């Protein structure tokens, strides 16, 4: 029997090994700009441009907040990300619950709108928001950035929470009600803990999308500058190493949170 | 009360989506038909000629964007499919590790990632500078400010969005179905072509959607990597809106871009016939 198996599938091994190597090649390719970014945050550069390696230094970590415009931009990004994530998580979770748990009029339209918000190109979203703000004579500042960020993250939180709600066994909630829990008590003690992983991952996604966004923000920012906008603005004059350091720190924190999250999820399962 | 619950839950999001998604699109449609200037204000004149003007001036960039977006999407599909395939079928217990490694770049801001990529490709940078130093490349060799740089940047930036949905589709393929194909004396090629590939098509469909639209509309890669000769429609829309304050032209261009993309998606969806794009895209 093993002989026939062998003759039927003879060419597996080499192809698999090649594909394995190829997968690593792609991973290295995708990570190489990140490695360069981290490395050049330690570059002891003397000239104006930060393009060639000139020795190791921790100077840029010590002088991290020396460029006040850049620091302000980072602060703006964090403020916008926190505010928009909080709003998105609350209203997106509510919509996710409604779509995952209830049948109601307008459900189809709502699903369509959620899909439309995901699939509208960022450029069109930013441009149309600017058209609205210009038409309504609304000044552009941090508030309009938050409005825009909630808009593009909303669907992602909704979809994540909805996916979680759908897998939830409705009889759990019924059992809670049968045992005399109020509607609010059932929600707080049964529904919410069960959907919480979905809410958290949706929230993290919203935060990541917000802190990363350049295209939409570039339309609605007015004179408020966020971290990505500041970076783009300084491309021509040369990116200071502090940007590399901030990028490295954001990268490190993000990876730590993701790994901790994965470990926690694994522990919950076992 | 119970019957009202879903409406109350949905209300805030409805308002947000209505006021900041639907109304702005209507506002943009209206602005695209107005005439005037930033100082005296704009007035509705139903000038459909705005569209003709905008297209007349910028059709090169629009066509170029679709071309670059299409090229990058094909490149992502060709590069990404084998990766998704290997992780799904041979990744074993370390599947999630590989996926995590593929997603690592997303922990760095899109803009910064693109700049770092340009930095790697710089004429005298770490890569080409070294190779030129060794005499392996001619001194005038360059990649920045070429089509290759922009399409490569788009491919680099959106590749994981192609790999993930294909991976999800392949991961759900029951290995026993593939076994059955072998038991029926299918060759590896035939088993792949007749069994695995068709089952992965929903993932390919979602991957193409998730990459083609943002790649075509992206202004960052062309700005950072493309120099002056590779301007895409995204750059034009940004300049018209933000520098020239020419809102009607910019709106007309945005609307045209959206319409072209929507029509493209529609034809594509009809041709491939996937029922639930959102479900596939969301997973």
Question: Contacts of residue A159 in chain B, CB cutoff 8 Å?
Answer: 278, 282
What are the pLDDT digits (tens) for B156-193?
Answer: 999 999 999 999 999 988 888 888 998 998 888 888 88
Whether residues A25 and A159 fall in one domain: no
Residue B186 pLDDT? 87
Measured in angstroms, the CA of A226 and the nearest CA of chain B are apart by 12
Total domains, chain A: 2
CA–centroid distance for B231 within its chain: 16
Q: Tell me whether residue A175 is in a domain.
A: yes
Helix axes B126-133, B110-121, angle to 10 degrees: 10
Q: How far is CA A150 from CA A91, A206, B20, in A?
A: 9, 8, 10
Averaged pLDDT of chain B: 88
Whether residues A104 and A207 fall in one domain: yes
What are the pLDDT digits (tens) for B189-221?
Answer: 888 888 899 889 888 988 998 899 999 999 999
What are the pLDDT digits (tens) for A197-240?
Answer: 889 989 999 999 999 999 999 999 999 999 999 999 998 888 89
Q: Please give the angle made by the CA atoms of A129, A135 and A140, to the nearest 5 degrees.
A: 55
Euclidean distance between CA atoms A93 and B49, whole angstroms: 44
What's the whole-number mean pLDDT along residues B123-134? Answer: 79
What's the whole-number mean pLDDT along residues B233-240? Answer: 94
Q: Tell me whether residue A144 is in a domain.
A: yes
| Residue B250 token pair | 């910019």
Residue A25 belongs to what domain range?
Answer: 2-39
Residue A270 pLDDT? 66
The 10 Å Cβ neighbour count of residue B42 is 18
Euclidean distance between CA atoms A230 and A253, whole angstroms: 21
At B240, the pLDDT band (50, 70, 90 cuts) reads very high
Put simply, the answer to whether B278 touches A113 (Cβ < 8 Å) is no
Whether residues A105 and A201 fall in one domain: yes
Put simply, the answer to whether B31 touches A255 (Cβ < 8 Å) is no
Q: Quick one: CA dihedral B8, B12, B15, B18, positive or negative? A: negative
* pTM score of the predicted model: 0.87
What CATH superfamily classification does B55-282 receive? Answer: MetI-like (1.10.3720.10)
Q: Which of A17, A128, A209, A232 to mutate to test the interface with B (most CBs of B within 10 A)?
A: A128
Whether residues A106 and A170 fall in one domain: yes
Q: How far is CA A106 from CA A98, A102, A151, in A?
A: 11, 11, 19
Search chain A and give the residue with CA nearest B31. A131
Euclidean distance between CA atoms B40 and B159, whole angstroms: 45
Query: Picking from A136-140, A142-146, B129-133, which range would have the lowest pLDDT averaged per residue?
Result: B129-133
Put simply, the answer to whether A128 touches B28 (Cβ < 8 Å) is yes
Residue B280 pLDDT? 45
What are the pLDDT digits (tens) for B9-52?
Answer: 999 999 999 999 999 999 999 999 998 887 777 888 888 999 99
Query: Tokens 């990541």 identify what position?
Result: A208
Search chain B and give the residue with CA nearest A183. B2
Residue B144 pLDDT? 85
Question: Contacts of residue A124 in chain B, CB cutoff 8 Å?
Answer: 25, 28, 217, 254, 257-258
Residue A168 pLDDT? 84
Percent of chain A past pLDDT 70, that is, above it, reads: 94
Q: Tell me whether residue A232 is in a domain.
A: yes
The 10 Å Cβ neighbour count of residue A262 is 13
Whether residues A76 and A134 fall in one domain: yes
Put simply, the answer to whether B102 touches A111 (Cβ < 8 Å) is no
B133 reaches A (C-beta below 8 A)? no
Can you give the residue ranges of every domain in chain B?
A: 55-282
Query: Picking from A3-17, A23-37, B89-103, which range would have the lowest pLDDT averaged per residue?
Result: A3-17
Residue B127 pLDDT? 79
Q: Among candidates B28, B97, B71, which has minimal Cα distance to A135?
A: B28
What CATH number does residue A213 fall under? 1.10.3720.10
At A126, the pLDDT band (50, 70, 90 cuts) reads very high
Measured in angstroms, the CA of B24 and the nearest CA of chain A are apart by 5
Whether residues A82 and A26 fall in one domain: no
At A2, the pLDDT band (50, 70, 90 cuts) reads very low
Residue A6 pLDDT? 43
Would the pLDDT of B279 be above 50? Answer: no
Q: Tell me whether residue A111 is in a domain.
A: yes
Put simply, the answer to whether B113 touches A131 (Cβ < 8 Å) is no
> Given A32, A95, A120, which is nearest B120 (Cβ)?
A32
ipTM for this model: 0.86
> Given B24, B107, B185, which is nearest A251 (Cβ)?
B107
At B273, the pLDDT band (50, 70, 90 cuts) reads low
At A183, the pLDDT band (50, 70, 90 cuts) reads confident
**How many beta-carbon contacts under 8 Å exist across A and B?**
256
Q: Tell me whether residue A105 is in a domain.
A: yes
Averaged pLDDT of chain A: 89
What are the pLDDT digits (tens) for B53-71?
Answer: 999 999 999 999 999 999 9
Would the pLDDT of B154 be above 50? Answer: yes
Q: Tell me whether residue A263 is in a domain.
A: no
Question: Contacts of residue B5 in chain A, CB cutoff 8 Å?
Answer: 98, 102
Would the pLDDT of A152 be above 90? Answer: yes
Would the pLDDT of B282 be above 50? Answer: no
Measured in angstroms, the CA of B25 and the nearest CA of chain A are apart by 5
Would the pLDDT of A96 be above 90? Answer: yes
């Amino acid at each position: 029997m093993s002989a026939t198996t062998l003759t039927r599938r003879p060419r597996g091994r080499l192809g698999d090994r090649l594909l394995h190597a190829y997968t690593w090649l792609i991973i290295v390719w995708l990570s190489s700009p990140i490695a360069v970014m981290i490395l050049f945050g330690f570059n002891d550069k003397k000239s104006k441009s930060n393009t060639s390696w000139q020795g190791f230094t921790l100077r840029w970590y010590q002088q991290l907040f020396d460029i006040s415009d850049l620091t302000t931009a980072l602060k703006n990004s964090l403020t916008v990300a926190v505010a928009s994530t909080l709003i998105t998580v609350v209203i997106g979770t509510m919509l996710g619950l409604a779509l995952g748990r209830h049948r109601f009029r307008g459900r189809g339209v709502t699903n369509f709108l959620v899909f439309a918000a995901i699939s509208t190109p960022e450029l069109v979203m930013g441009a149309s928001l600017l058209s609205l703000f210009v038409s309504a004579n609304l000044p552009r500042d941090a508030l309009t950035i938050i409005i825009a960020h909630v808009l593009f993250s909303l669907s992602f939180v909704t979809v994540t929470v909805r996916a979680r709600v759908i897998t939830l066994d409705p009889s759990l909630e019924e059992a809670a009600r049968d045992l005399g829990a109020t509607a609010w008590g059932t929600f707080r003690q049964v529904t919410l803990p069960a959907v919480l992983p979905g809410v958290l991952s949706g929230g993290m996604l919203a935060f990541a999308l917000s802190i990363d966004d350049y295209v939409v923000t570039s339309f609605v920012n007015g004179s408020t500058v966020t971290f990505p906008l500041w970076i783009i603005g300084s491309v021509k004059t040369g990116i200071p190493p502090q940007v590399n350091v901030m990028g490295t720190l954001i990268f490190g924190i993000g990876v730590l949170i993701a790994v901790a999250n994965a470990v926690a999820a694994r522990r919950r399962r076992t | 009360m119970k019957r009202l619950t879903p409406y109350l839950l949905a209300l805030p999001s409805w308002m947000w989506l209505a006021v900041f998604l639907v109304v702005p699109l209507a506002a943009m449609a209206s602005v695209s038909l107005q005439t005037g200037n930033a100082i005296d204000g704009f007035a509705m004149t139903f000038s459909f000629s705005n569209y003709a003007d905008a297209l007349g001036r910028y059709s090169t960039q629009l066509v170029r964007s679709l071309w670059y977006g299409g090229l990058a999407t094909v490149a992502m599909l060709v590069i990404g499919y084998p990766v998704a395939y290997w992780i799904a079928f041979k990744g074993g217990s370390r599947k999630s590790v590989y996926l995590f490694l593929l997603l690592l770049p997303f922990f760095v801001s899109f803009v910064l990632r693109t700049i770092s990529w340009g930095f790697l490709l710089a004429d005298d940078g770490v890569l080409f500078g070294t190779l030129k130093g060794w005499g392996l490349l001619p001194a005038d060799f360059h990649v920045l400010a070429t089509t290759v740089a922009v399409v490569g940047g788009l491919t680099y930036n959106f590749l994981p969005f192609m790999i993930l949905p294909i991976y999800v589709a392949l991961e759900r393929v029951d290995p026993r179905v593939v076994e059955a194909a072998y038991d029926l004396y299918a060759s590896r090629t035939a088993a792949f072509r007749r069994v695995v590939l068709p089952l992965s098509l929903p993932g390919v469909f979602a991957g193409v959607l998730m990459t083609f639209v943002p790649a075509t509309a992206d202004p960052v890669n062309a700005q950072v990597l493309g120099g002056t000769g590779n301007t895409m429609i995204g750059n034009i829309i940004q300049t018209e809106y933000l520098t020239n304050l020419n809102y009607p032209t910019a709106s007309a261009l945005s609307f045209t871009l959206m319409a072209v993309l929507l029509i493209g998606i529609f034809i594509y969806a009809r041709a491939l016939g996937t029922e639930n794009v959102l479900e596939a895209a969301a997973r």
